[in-house]
Each structure stands twice: as C-alpha cells, then as structure tokens.
Amino acid sequence: MASIDVLPKFEGDLEELYRDEDLVIVNKPEFFLSVPGRLPDNYDSVQSRYQEEAPEAMAAHRLDLDTSGIMTVALHKEALKRIQKQFQDRVVDKEYIAEVYGIVEQDTGEIDLPIIVDWPNRPRQMVCYETGKPSLTKWEVISRDVENNSTRLRLLPITGRSHQLRIHTREIGHPILGCDLYAHDKALARSPRLLLHARYIKFAHPMTGDPIEITSEAPF
C-alpha cells in the first residue's frame, strides 16, 4: 500500500502480548498504522488508541503500515526515553520473518548497503553510497519452496532504517512477496499483503532492567 489516502478501518481490539504499568507490547495487524497519519481520517493507530487511556503513551518503535507483528508502546515519558536509548545503543534483539521471491541459494548471509530517502519518490528509500546511512541486515534461510519459487527468511536487522528489510532483500534479487514499493510485478502479485512480520523482540524492562522476551508467530 504505497500511498496512504483514507485507510480501511480496523474495528477489532489490539492483541496484547505483554502489559504492565510502564509499557505494552501488541501484535500489530497489517494495514494498521503505528502512529496517526497526516489525514484526520487516518488518526486511528496503535499509539492513538493507548493515548486514550494514557495521554503520555508513545510508540517506542514503529512498524510500516503493511508490516504485522510485535510493536512496543511506552506508557509514560521515562519509559519511552529508556526504551529508545536501548534502540539507539543497538542492544535490542529483533527478528522478522519474510517470504521472498525466488530460491535463495546460500543458507546465511548479511546485507550491508547504505540507505537514504528517495526524496522525489517519497516514501520510497534508496541505496546511496555517497549520502546513505549505514544499514546492516543479517539473514538465514528457514525453508525453500521450489514449487512456488519462494524462500522463507529470518531477518535480523542490526540497524533500523526505514524500509531497510524491503530494500535489502530486493537488492540481493529476492524482493518480499506482496511489496508494492520495491517488488517487481511477479513478486507483488503473489500476495495481497506484504509478507513481512516482526516475530521476536528482546530488551531490558525500562524501569526494572529485567529481560523482556516476546514472540509472535507469522500469520503466513
């Protein structure tokens, strides 16, 4: 869903995977905003729903509109600051599941390509060796489906650039199925949604320091 006009309404309740007085971790559905959109009709989002009960609630990190899976909301400013510090220090472990076009031959690898916004074509991003920000993704094959010409990958982003996983997989010749921003026509036609899901997260509780480890299996 490359352009955001008025989105279809999500009437259901958000699935909570973890909750306490400091934060909540939800399983964000695909085609639902992490934070409010620019248009008034697109105000509904993960963040805005929690602000109804906790005015200081803010998304500690975001998922693309099309991406499903684990998302964390801090319920007050101090929790937000401490969680975001962990993201900045790259001590948060994250794992995504993606179904990509074609058969990936190697079992593991990493993609190290700098990314920057493609200003004339926003919201698209692009690889740029001159001005792009360092972007690193590690990956491993989970399974290969020769009959359907696709591969399931475990993606481990070391950095957190916008659209990083979509661009990196495309750049190695294996775009994510259903990606309307970066996939070619054959890969786009394979799925009505982007087959990318935030499956796992691990970080320290912002107030107690205790480890939090959450898993949400991919729905595809």
| CATH classification at residue 159 | 3.30.2350.10
The residue from 22, 44, 64, 66 that is catalytic is 64
Residue 68 domain-assigned? no
pLDDT at position 9 is 83
Residue 182 domain-assigned? yes
pLDDT at position 163 is 97
Max distance between CA atoms of the chain, in angstroms, equals 50
Instruction: Choose among 55, 60, 54: nearest CA to 35.
Output: 60
List pLDDT tens digits, range 105-151.
999 999 999 999 999 999 999 999 999 999 999 999 999 999 999 99
Query: For the chain, which residues score pLDDT lower than 50?
Result: 1-3
pLDDT at position 4 is 55
Residue 59 domain-assigned? no
Contact in structure between 180 and 168 (CB atoms under 8 Å): no
137: domain range?
95-196
Reading the block at residue 80, the tokens are 């937000």
pLDDT at position 2 is 45
Q: What is the DSSP letter of 117?
A: E
pTM for the model: 0.95
Residue in this structure with the two tokens 């792009």, named with its chain if needed:
132
Is position 64 annotated as part of the catalytic site?
yes
Residue 84 domain-assigned? no
Residue 58 domain-assigned? no
Residue 183 domain-assigned? yes
